[in-house]
């Protein structure tokens, strides 16, 4: 494969990215089939940050992958904290298992860290995300607002020594509903 370029999505790439997301989730077991619609809804959200939406493409401009992060809150009786949700992460089926998803996630994590975010939640394949440093969220006392298998909901601190502990229930913005 030629050199992979990862950068912030631009408006002219929106439809191509939507198709990548759609193709990536076709036939997946745990999906509602609407991930490609989610990205458009998130872009309209008041907390949307274009820096937290990236694409992976070839030197010729073919988009092979897409990923985004969105602000969510984690609320408990004692505190409310803003963290990020990693969703969706998509790679064209014929380019999967080549490190593209990992590269997209690492690029987003770096940007999130640089912007002062403390952590990221993700709902996905536990084996995959645990290899990237994510841990079962309930181990941190972080929970989904609806029932999901414990091993599929994960959390990762972006700081080695976080200044505060995040705990509580995740609340997703309207775009996710």
Report, in angstroms and rounded to the nearest whole number, the Rg of the chain calculated over CA atoms: 16
The secondary structure of the chain, three-state, reads CCCEEEEECCHHHHHHHHHHHHHHHCCCCCCCCCHHHHHHHHHCCCCCCHHHEEEEEECCCCEEEEEEEEEEEEECCCCEEEEEEEEEEEECHHHCCCCHHHHHHHHHHHHHHHCCCCEEEEECCHHHHHHCCCEEHHHHCEECCCCCCHHHEEEEECCCCCCCCCCEEEECCHHHC
Q: What is the pLDDT of residue 104?
A: 98
CA geometry: angle 69, 41, 88, nearest 5 deg: 35
**Cross-strand bridge partners of residue 153:** 123
Output the average pLDDT for the chain: 94
pLDDT exceeds cutoff 90 at 163: no
- Work out the percent of the chain whose per-residue pLDDT is above 70: 96
Q: What's the mean pLDDT in 18-42?
A: 85
Q: What's the mean pLDDT in 19-35?
A: 82
pLDDT exceeds cutoff 70 at 31: no
104 CB neighbour count, 10 Å cutoff = 24
> Pick from 65, 53, 69: which is nearest to 93 by CA?
65
More confident residue, 55 or 160: 55
Q: At 2, is the pLDDT very low, low, confident or very high (cuts 50, 70, 90)? A: low
Q: At 44, is the pLDDT very low, low, confident or very high (cuts 50, 70, 90)? A: very high
Condensed to tens digits (0 to 9), the pLDDT of residues 120-146 reads 999 999 999 999 999 999 999 999 999
pLDDT exceeds cutoff 60 at 1: no
Q: Would the pTM count as exceeding 0.85? A: yes
């Amino acid at each position: 494969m030629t050199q992979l370029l990862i950068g912030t999505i631009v408006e002219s790439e929106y439809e191509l990215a939507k198709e990548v997301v759609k193709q990536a989730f076709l036939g997946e077991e745990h999906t509602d089939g609407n991930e490609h619609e989610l990205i458009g809804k998130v872009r309209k959200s008041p907390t949307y940050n274009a820096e937290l939406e990236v694409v992976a493409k070839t030197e010729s401009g073919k988009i092979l992958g897409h990923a985004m992060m969105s602000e969510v809150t984690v609320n408990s009786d004692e505190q409310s904290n803003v963290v990020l949700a990693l969703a969706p992460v998509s790679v064209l089926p014929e380019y999967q298992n080549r490190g593209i998803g990992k590269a997209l996630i690492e690029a987003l994590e770096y940007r999130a860290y640089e912007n002062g975010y403390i952590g990221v939640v993700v709902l996905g394949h536990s084996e995959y995300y645990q290899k990237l440093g994510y841990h079962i969220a309930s181990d941190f006392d972080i929970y989904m607002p609806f029932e999901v298998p414990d091993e599929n909901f994960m959390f990762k601190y972006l700081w080695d020594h976080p200044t505060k502990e995040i705990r509580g229930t995740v609340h997703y913005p309207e775009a996710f509903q």
